[in-house]
């Protein structure tokens, strides 16, 4: 069997960001609106700081306004709630994102539910989760939204396909399963208590792996010709012995890519697959929120 098509999320997301930049121009011309995305970071978590900086750079690169808010790690929950309230009421802000994880003394669900659902560009508010669950998605969590774009670009219609989602987190697995269901797939959701995972995997036309375990999904589990979307981002020691000894690491996915590529018909690499789609979908959600909040007069 020929090797799989490598689904290039870098290129796809770059094209999507170019389209978003044009949408920003159109919004400016037609509605006199510059979409504004507010990003709140509480504390100094190094990985979160990198993510937030990347989001802010890309927001500016497509011509949107990036509004940054940094709170100290010991900021109170009320301080954060007050800031969210101010942003909810600010007409220049169309999207609000609170970078997770939050410090332990802050209750994450309370914070996420304080965000105006119309500005909830992460799609984590219960109202948006509920709309997704009844098949009327509005602002959809960014990572699954990106996975759907890659799948539809590769397969066209997903109707009637059997999709297996491995993982049931609220940010990836669950919304992914809802989106696949809305796209008329037959959906199986697997999690840490699932039995016979290999058997389930062998029946799937589409496998979405969102587990967080390096190289978890083996090539021998896959149905020949399956389309594989690898959401995992796992840091493991570098391959090269000298680099490994120096403590260097590399990023791998949840799928044994080197072998899976020989069985699948298409597969996302890690890095360069799903990862780059997430921020592009965040910007896409911000455009959508800005459109919804500023109807043409």
- Which residues bind to ligand NAD, rule: CB under 6 A? 143, 166-169, 171-173, 190-192, 194, 197, 210-212, 231-234, 274-275, 278
SS (H, E, C) 37-97: EEEEEECCCHHHHHHHHHHHHHHHHCCCEEEEEEECCCCCHHHHHHHHHHHHCCCCCCEEE
Question: Is 70 annotated as ligand-binding?
Answer: no
Question: Is 233 annotated as ligand-binding?
Answer: yes
User: What is the SS3 assignment for 125?
Assistant: coil
The question of whether 203 is a catalytic residue gets the answer no
Asked if residues 272 and 8 have their Cβ atoms less than 8 Å apart, the reply is: yes
Min dist. Cβ of residue 18 to ligand NAD (A): 20
CA distance 280 to 259: 29
Min dist. Cβ of residue 207 to ligand NAD (A): 12
The residue annotated as part of the active site, out of 23, 119, 120, 122, is 122
CA distance 252 to 234: 5
For residue 179, count CB atoms less than 10 angstroms from its CB and return exposed for 0-12, middle for 13-18, buried for 19 or more.
Answer: buried
The residue annotated as part of the active site, out of 55, 178, 254, 256, is 55
Nearer to ligand NAD, 65 or 169 (CB): 169
Beta strand 162-166 pairing with 206-209: parallel
Question: Is 6 annotated as ligand-binding?
Answer: no
The question of whether 99 is a catalytic residue gets the answer yes
Name the residue number minimizing CB distance to ligand NAD.
Answer: 169
The residue annotated as part of the active site, out of 99, 205, 254, 288, is 99
Nearer to ligand NAD, 14 or 159 (CB): 14
Min dist. Cβ of residue 279 to ligand NAD (A): 8
Q: Is 135 left (phi over 0), alpha (psi -120 to 50) or beta?
A: left
Min dist. Cβ of residue 99 to ligand NAD (A): 13
Q: Which residues participate in catalysis according to the annotation? A: 55, 99, 122
Which residues are documented as binding site?
167-169, 233
Which residues are documented as binding site for NADP(+)?
167-169, 233
């Amino acid at each position: 069997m020929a090797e799989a098509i490598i689904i290039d999320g870098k290129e796809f997301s770059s094209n999507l960001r170019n389209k978003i930049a044009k949408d920003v121009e159109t919004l400016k011309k037609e509605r006199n609106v510059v979409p504004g995305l507010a990003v709140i970071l509480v504390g100094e978590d190094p990985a979160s700081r990198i993510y937030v900086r990347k989001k802010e750079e890309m927001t500016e690169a497509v011509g949107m306004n990036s509004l940054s808010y940094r709170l100290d790690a010991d900021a109170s929950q009320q301080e954060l709630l007050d800031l969210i309230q101010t942003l909810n009421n600010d007409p220049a802000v169309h999207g609000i994102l609170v970078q997770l994880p939050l410090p332990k003394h802050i209750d994450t669900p309370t914070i996420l539910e304080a965000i105006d659902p119309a500005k909830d560009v992460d799609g984590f508010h219960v109202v948006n989760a509920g709309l997704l669950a009844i098949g009327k998605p509005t602002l959809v969590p960014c990572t699954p939204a990106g996975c759907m774009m890659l799948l539809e670009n590769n397969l066209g219609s997903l109707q009637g396909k059997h999709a297996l989602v491995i993982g049931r987190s609220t940010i990836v697995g669950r919304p992914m399963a809802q989106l696949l269901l809305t796209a008329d797939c037959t959906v199986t959701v697997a999690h840490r208590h699932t039995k016979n995972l290999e058997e389930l995997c062998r029946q799937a036309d589409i496998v979405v792996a969102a587990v967080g375990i390096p190289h978890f999904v083996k090539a021998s589990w896959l149905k020949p010709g399956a389309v594989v979307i690898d959401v995992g981002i796992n840091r493991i020691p570098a391959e090269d012995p000298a680099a490994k000894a120096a403590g260097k690491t590399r990023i791998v996915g949840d799928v044994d890519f080197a072998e899976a590529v020989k069985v699948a018909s298409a597969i996302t690499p890690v890095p360069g697959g799903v990862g780059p789609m997430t921020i592009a979908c965040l910007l896409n959600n911000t455009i959508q929120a800005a459109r919804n909040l500023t109807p043409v007069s």
